[in-house]
A and B are shown apart, each in its own frame.
Chain A
Amino acid sequence: MNKLGLWMSAGLAALVLAASAQAQQPLKIGFGMSLTGPLAGNGKAALISMQIWAEDVNAKGGLLGRKVELVYYDDQTNPSTVPSIYTKLLDVDKVDLVVSGYGTNVIAPAMPIMMQRNMTFMSLFGLNVNSKFNYDRYFQIMPAGPDPAIGWTQGFFDTAMTLNPKPQTVALVGADAEYPALALEGARAQAKRTGLKVVYDKSYPPNTVDFSPIVRAIQATNPDLVFLASYPPDSAGMVRAVNEVGLKTRMFGGGLVGPQFAALKTQLGPLLNGVVNYEAYAPEVSAKYPFLEQFLAKYQGRAVKEGVDPLGFYLPPYAYAMMQVLEQAIKATGGLDQGKLADYMHTYEFDTFVGKVRFAKNGEWSIPRMLTVQYHGISGNDLEQWMKPGKVTVLAPSDYKTGTAMTPYQDNKK
């Protein structure tokens, strides 16, 4: 080989080496997550799911030939930590991609940073964050639909209007906090749409100890429907109070956060009978969630070890799905160009563990798909009965329906 050839081979070798060195640099995905603070139970569950995803992807050879690495910090469910965390991730850790933490509280403070850097931002369960920012690279994996507060409450009110005779009045109640306030706004809009008269509309402070006065005040208005939007502690308190006072109404529930998790399912047990609520997943309709059961088995094994929600019916499937969407978008566009990713995600449909996902213009789901369910037939406080079909009737959306609502509420506490 002559000198030119030698130089060319050396140059080629150097190029190949450089390229593979680049390829060997891990693909870093950065985010803050609630590992301590009030929402830590969910945050840790989501983190486990995302770690399982990273392992699955790396087992198949990584993304774009690079190993996937998750870089994350505890945001303590405290919004003040978010700007520092995301600027560190982007400026110091130099991550390639970012996703959000859990909840509006920690998603919103990250938005200005995303918008300044033109990053595509996939977010995890924040209600209607983008309505103020109108950012075209924001995406939300929560299946609330393009108008989240409406989509969130659609199932409850649609089901209510199928009752015969039609209900006339509704009582609205919820905690003084961000999610319940938004959900109640949606409920008010629904009441208007369906012509229901709102006979009670009050909220309670999150650290309320005794809910019986509230339930009694609601009962005094004799509502046909009672819509509750609450966080786990008050969900539990309200369900107990409702059982204690013996609330008489045709349908009760709607927006309780908490009963989706093992802790409250086992604590409340039969007290949940008859309650209508939203769920992200139910074993009754597992056919609509391809491969999810395998993932759940993996997740449940780890969750038990780490002392986190052992059921995993709420955030985990969606946290995994969120990463799947990104994975498919990256593979399809062949790179990490944020603009191309956003365009791809706005255009195409994705196949994930939670079914087919398509995004609307504002980054929310194009159609709502939160399940509205009714609990029934629960006896005792064990967890196994919840893992198999039989304890839940899916009432909405219509293509997931497995049965009709049992009414009135007070007759269904078996």
Chain B
Amino acid sequence: MSNRNFAILTFAIALAVVAASRLVSSDYFFSAAYTVLQFIILATAWNILGGYTGYVNFGSAAFFAVGAYTTVFLHKALQPPLPVMIAAGTIAAGLLGLGVGYLTLRMRGVFFAIATLALAVVLYTFVVNWDYVGGARGAYILQPRVVPFGFPRYVHLLYTAMVLMTALALVVARSIQTSFIGRGLAAIRDDEIAAECSGVPTLRLKLFSATVSGALMGMAGTTFPYYLSYVEPSAAFNLSYAVNSIAMPLIGGMTSWLGPLIGAVLLGSVQQVVQVTVSSAWNLLIVGVLLVVFVTVAPNGIMGWVDSWRRSRARRP
């Protein structure tokens, strides 16, 4: 299927999902779904740099927070409409990805990983000291009383925005994966030196990958302040974003755009269910255990299982 057809199909499904959700009466569905969609975008974005290119980003929270705080800043300064804030947050996070990439992607992958860790701390400190966006005190971003586009509740609008953004992220991921860029990234992932020797412009591809990955992560964060109405640094920079954005692609499978989607839907839903049933520190334990189990037993994730199952079926006469 060509990328254009895939894009059309994905957006059509997205619009169908939005329309179908009008029939749901419980707001709980929208709240829970918002969180799961957020993770789908984060996992897909992480995978572009992590799975496709082989560079681990521990600072997903930093990019996510950049998206969130750009919204906070614009809300306090100019109060532009939501799409403008989403675009601005995405661009800001993308620029951050580009900057960090430029500083560190010329070295080995582990240095990039450590730099992303340090980045999260530095940005956190900046935000804490920046009084205009609330600093440590946090910022109140009130949902407008009148919901635009005629949605019954504001959370429905947020949900719709998230569905569309998820569709966009998946389309972007698939387009990269199937294009020549994706092949170049795969070459880098498998053996960077060999790729460089074969004439693959590794630095430029890595920078591209880092920028897109960062931008999408920021996009996931842009509506977050409205979802909570109150943003403070430890919520925006929460480590669960970093852990989940690594665990989900790992569990789903890192070589394809479908992997993060599967991993995020599975793990995200499990976490949502656990939160309102068992409801304790078990949540984190589950993520940790699943992460370790999958990484040792099924390193290619669920997609890897599916692939090897398909291959074994193809082999049977």
Interface residues of A (CB under 8 A from B): 35-36, 73-74, 76, 78-85, 87-88, 90-92, 104-105, 108-109, 111-113, 116, 132-133, 175-178, 180-182, 185, 203, 205
Identify the stretch in B10-18, B223-231, B252-260, B308-316 within 8 Å (CB) of chain A at 4 or more residues: B223-231
Given contacts A36-B281, A87-B26, A178-B137, contact A80 B235 (CB under 8 A): yes
Residues on B with beta carbons closer than 8 Å to the beta carbon of A105: 138, 230, 232, 235
- Is B128 part of the contact surface with A, judged by Cβ < 8 Å? yes
List chain B residues, Cβ under 8 A from A133: 140, 142
Chain B contacts for A73, CB-based, 8 A: 275-276, 279
Nearest CB in chain A: distance from B59 CB, A: 17
Residues from chain B with Cβ under 8 Å of A181 in the complex: 135-137
Chain-A contact segment, one of B30-38, B92-100, B102-110, B289-297: B30-38
Q: How many residues of B contact A (CB 8 A)?
A: 38
Jot down 9 A-B pairs with beta carbons below 8 A, ordered by A. Answer: A73-B279, A84-B31, A84-B272, A88-B276, A92-B26, A108-B140, A109-B227, A180-B136, A205-B125
Give every chain A residue within 8 A of B204 (Cβ-Cβ). none
Known: A80-B235, A83-B31, A178-B137. A104 touches B275 (CB 8 A): no
Contact A84 B229 (CB under 8 A): no
Contact A109 B230, beta carbon cutoff 8 Å? yes
A80 contacts which chain B residues (CB < 8 A)? Answer: 35, 227-228, 235, 238
Which one of B26, B129, B143, B280 lies within 8 Å of A112 (CB-CB)? Answer: B143
- B25, CB-defined interface residue at 8 Å: yes
Residues from chain A with Cβ under 8 Å of B128 in the complex? 176, 205
- Provide the bound-state CA to CA distance between A180 and B128, in Å: 13
Residues of A within 8 A of B280 (CB): 35-36, 74
Known: A108-B230, A133-B142. A91 touches B276 (CB 8 A): no
Please name the 8 residue pairs, one residue from A and one from B, whose CB atoms are nearest each other, closest first: A108-B230, A91-B26, A87-B28, A132-B140, A87-B27, A84-B31, A181-B137, A88-B28
Q: Known: A36-B280, A133-B142, A205-B128. Is A84-B35 also a contact (CB below 8 A)?
A: yes
Please state if A83 and B155 are interface contacts (CB–CB under 8 Å).
Answer: yes
Which residues of chain B are within 8 angstroms of A203 by Cβ–Cβ distance?
A: 136
Assess the A112–B135 pair: CB atoms within 8 A. no
The yes or no answer to B175 lying at the interface (CB within 8 A) is no
Q: Which residues of B contact A (CB under 8 A)?
A: 25-28, 30-32, 34-35, 125, 128-129, 135-138, 140, 142-143, 153-155, 227-230, 232, 234-235, 238, 240, 272, 275-276, 279-281, 283
Q: Please name all residues of chain A whose beta carbon is closer than 8 Å to the beta carbon of B138 when the two chains form the complex.
A: 104-105, 108, 178
Closest Cβ neighbor of B153 among chain A residues:
A116
| B152 nearest in chain A by CB position | A116
Bound Cα distance A210, B116 (Å)? 26
**Known A109-B228, A178-B232, A181-B137; contact A84-B26, beta-carbon cutoff 8 A:** no
Kindly list chain B residues whose C-beta atoms are within 8 Å of the C-beta of A87: 26-28, 30-31, 155
Question: In the complex, are the beta carbons of B136 and A178 less than 8 A apart?
Answer: yes
* A112: min CB distance to chain B, Å: 5
B279 contacts across to A, CB distance below 8 A: 35, 73-74
Q: A91 to chain B: which residues have CB within 8 Å?
A: 25-28
Contact between chains at A79 and B228 (CB < 8 Å): yes
Known contacts A73-B276, A84-B32, A90-B27; 14 further A-B pairs (Cβ under 8 A): A74-B279, A79-B230, A84-B35, A88-B31, A88-B276, A91-B25, A104-B138, A105-B138, A111-B229, A176-B128, A176-B135, A177-B234, A178-B138, A181-B137
Interface centre among B28, B155, B232, B283 (most CB of A within 10 A): B28
Minimum CB distance partner of B272 in chain A: A84
Q: Which residue of A lies closest to B232 (CB)?
A: A178
A84, A180, A182 — most chain B CB neighbours (10 Å): A84
> Complex: how many Å from CA A73 to CA B143?
25
In the complex, which residues of chain A have a beta carbon less than 8 angstroms from the beta carbon of B142? 112, 132-133
Residue on B nearest A33 in the bound complex, by CB: B279
A82 touches B228 (CB 8 A): yes
Cα separation A403 to B129 with both chains bound (whole Å): 40
A146 to B34, CA, bound (A): 36
A81 touches B27 (CB 8 A): no
Choose among A78, A178, A203 the residue with the greatest number of B CB atoms under 10 Å from its CB: A178
Least Cβ distance of A250 to chain B in Å? 28
Q: Which of A35, A83, A182, A205 contacts B137 (CB 8 A)?
A: A182
Contacting pair A108 B26 (CB below 8 A): no
How far, in Å, is B159 (CB) from chain A's closest CB? 11
- Min CB gap A37→B, angstroms: 9
With both beta carbons as reference points, the residue of chain A lying nearest to B25 in the complex is identified as A91
Are A83 and B227 closer than 8 Å at their CB atoms?
yes
Q: Complex formed: what's the CA distance from A87 to B232 in Å?
A: 22
Contact B275 A74 (CB under 8 A): yes
Nearest residue, chain A, Cβ from B135: A181
Q: How far is the CA of A82 from the CA of B34 in the complex (A)?
A: 13
Point out which of B30, B136, B138 has the most chain A C-beta atoms below 10 A from its C-beta: B136
Bound CA span A72–B137, Å = 27
Which residues of chain A have C-beta atoms less than 8 A from B230's C-beta? Answer: 79, 104-105, 108-109, 111
